[in-house]
Amino acid sequence: MKHKDPTSPRAWLLRAKANLTLAEKGGRLKGVLFEDLCFNAQQAAEKSIKAICLAQGLDFPKTHSLVHLMDILESSGLSIPENVRDADILTQYAVQSLYPSIVEEITREEYREALKLAAKVVFWAETIIK
């Protein structure tokens, strides 16, 4: 049951990839909200970054802030590619898209961008965690 070990970078990466798959496949289903798909995209990025933290032997707080998590990685000396750093905008989907709110609806274009950004973070994590 290695995929359930909270100290395993691979377990976190497996879950990140599962969230990315949900975000990708859900876009083809009727009745699925872009908000929920963007939440899964954010979760994919967050879990990927946390997997890297674990692989680097770094502690991380309970946070959804991708900027904060990336700052932890950078402070340890890890260089973060610009296209991964761009994923910090996904943080907005961590909470605001979970529940009904008065925030503007997420468009198909915003969903597609969230998906691209999350995929870049997951791919980057995969290159670090072998």
CATH classification of the domain holding 55: 1.20.120.330
- Tracing tokens 């070990």 back to the chain, one arrives at 5
- State pTM to two decimals: 0.93
What's the structural domain count of the chain? 1
Query: How do the pLDDT tens digits run along the chain, 130 residues long?
Result: 566 888 899 999 999 999 999 999 998 899 999 999 999 999 999 999 999 999 999 999 999 999 999 999 999 999 999 999 999 999 999 877 666 676 778 899 999 999 999 999 999 999 999 8
* 71: containing domain: 2-128
Among 101, 100, 45, 52, smallest CA distance to 72 is for: 52
Distance CA 87, CA 74 (A): 15
Which phi and psi angles does 24 have, rounded to 5°? Answer: -70, -55
For 71, other C-beta atoms within 10 Å of its C-beta total 13
pLDDT at 6: 85
Distance CA 70, CA 81 (A): 11
